[in-house]
């Protein structure tokens, strides 16, 4: 599922819910969207030019389709003047730090909906304001976050050589038959080097993975450590090779493992030129960092 609201901001494809004056606790935004204030945090109110940090949950009834908390970071919006023709932006300007509120959006009149939203009449968006910052405060916060990301990236890059040696050693043990391998009916072999304590990912979950890919002759063809950035993808959606869609769900969050992927679960007879020849068995060291 996707967070629909942000993909529709630019298009302005919103339908207002009807206003209700029956005393049901609902309030109305300047543009006319109904919303419900759940918690009055009595915190700092935003001024024009301030930045709001918030968590957002998208629901279809009781079914959660998206939660920014699963992504590990807040959403950010700059406060601007005037009423907005979308429910979240219009409501956010009325909230303060610590407030929580919900707003509904009718979508059954929106054309060209994504397939996973067809047939859904409306969505509910739950908002929790975590912080309100001035422009200067936000710039300092942004610089701090960028510095943290750079430090994490540099740390990953510094590990590349060490990880490469580790994968070479595991590959040598594989060739000598020294590994306690597990194998799926499809022919995927794997060995868990460190067992994680978290859950296993389910189909559709987004996972964050560090990886180091190698051919069985020891040639490295790709790795995330060199880029200094983990790879994120949804499990079971066909966005990666079959060996990954099959192998990553076998691991608990926090696990480190090596996958030995036969050609038919990798790039097949055609390979992936110029780095992966046809019919190649692939060796992937993987670290399942997070299930989002």
pLDDT at 113: 76
Q: Provide the residue range defining the domain that includes 236.
A: 158-291
| CB 197 within 8 Å of CB 254 | yes
196 and 234 assigned to the same domain: yes
Query: Does 153 reside within a domain?
Result: no
Give the residue-averaged pLDDT of 95-119. 85
Query: Does 243 reside within a domain?
Result: yes
Kindly report whether the peptide bond that precedes residue 226 is cis, defined as omega within 30 degrees of 0. no
pLDDT at 13: 39
High-pLDDT (> 70) share of the chain, %: 92
Of 52-66, 232-246, 248-262, the range with the lowest mean pLDDT is: 52-66
165 and 120 assigned to the same domain: no
Overall number of domains in the chain = 2
For residue range 132-190, list pLDDT tens digits in order: 999 999 999 999 999 999 999 999 999 999 999 999 999 999 999 999 999 999 999 99
Which CATH number covers residue 208? 3.10.50.40
**Helix boundaries (H) for the chain:** 4-9, 68-71, 87-92, 135-158, 160-175, 224-227, 242-247
Query: Does 247 reside within a domain?
Result: yes
CA–CA distances in Å: residue 104 to residues 58, 206, 273, 275, 276: 10, 26, 49, 50, 49
| pLDDT-based confidence at residue 24 (cuts at 50, 70, 90) | low
Hey, how many other C-beta atoms are within 10 angstroms of the C-beta on 213? 21
State pTM to two decimals: 0.72
For residue range 271-280, list pLDDT tens digits in order: 999 999 999 9
Mean pLDDT of the chain: 89
| pLDDT-based confidence at residue 105 (cuts at 50, 70, 90) | confident
């Amino acid at each position: 599922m996707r967070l629909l609201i942000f993909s529709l901001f630019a298009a302005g494809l919103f339908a207002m819910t009807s206003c209700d004056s029956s005393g049901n606790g609902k309030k109305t935004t300047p543009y006319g969207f109904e919303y419900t204030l759940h918690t009055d945090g009595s915190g700092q109110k935003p001024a024009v030019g301030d930045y709001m940090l918030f968590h957002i949950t998208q629901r279809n009834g009781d079914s959660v389709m998206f939660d920014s908390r699963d992504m590990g970071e807040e959403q950010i919006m700059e406060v601007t003047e005037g009423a907005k023709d979308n429910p979240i932006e219009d409501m956010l300007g009325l909230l303060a730090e610590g407030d929580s509120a919900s707003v509904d959006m009718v979508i059954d009149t929106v054309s060209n909906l994504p397939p996973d939203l067809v047939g859904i009449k409306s969505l509910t968006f739950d908002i929790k304001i975590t912080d309100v910052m001035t422009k200067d405060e936000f710039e300092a916060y942004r610089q701090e976050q960028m510095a943290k990301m750079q430090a994490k990236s540099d740390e990953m890059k510094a590990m590349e050589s060490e990880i490469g040696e580790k994968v070479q050693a595991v590959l040598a043990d594989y060739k000598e038959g020294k590994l306690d391998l597990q194998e799926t009916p499809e022919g995927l072999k794997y060995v868990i080097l460190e067992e994680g304590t978290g859950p296993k990912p389910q189909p559709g979950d987004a996972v964050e993975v560090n990886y180091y890919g190698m051919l069985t002759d020891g040639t490295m063809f790709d790795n995330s450590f060199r880029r200094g950035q983990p790879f994120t993808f949804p499990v079971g959606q066909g966005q990666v090779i079959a060996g990954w869609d099959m192998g990553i769900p076998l691991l608990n969050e926090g696990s480190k493992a090596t996958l030995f992927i036969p050609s038919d679960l990798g790039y097949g007879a055609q390979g992936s030129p110029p780095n992966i020849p046809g019919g190649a068995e692939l060796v992937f060291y993987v670290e399942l960092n997070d299930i989002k």
